Amino acid sequence: MMRITLSEAFFFYATLSLAFLFILWLFFYSKRRRLEKRRIFICRFCQQKVELEPGQITLRCPRCNAIQNVEMKV
């Protein structure tokens, strides 16, 4: 039977917990990215994709400077 030292055990534990946290972060990050992708609005004048803030009703296009209302399709 192989025995490991305390520092090796700690290193192993730290690596595992870090890997677990990283996987958890990746999971929530990809979930958030998917949610953000739904809040992309396409300008009806120049087809520029504009990201929307939550609760935003009016939008100013960064390319053609047009102000337009955002209608949420439910």
CB 62 within 8 A of CB 48: yes
Question: Does 68 contact Zn ion by CB under 5 A?
Answer: no
CB 46 within 8 A of CB 63: yes
Q: Which stretch binds Zn ion (CB under 5 A): 2-10, 17-25, 27-35, 63-71?
A: 63-71
Question: Does 64 contact Zn ion by CB under 5 A?
Answer: yes
Question: Does 46 contact Zn ion by CB under 5 A?
Answer: yes
In angstroms, the CA 45 to CA 24 distance is 40
* Footprint of Zn ion (CB under 5 A): 43, 45-46, 48, 61, 63-64
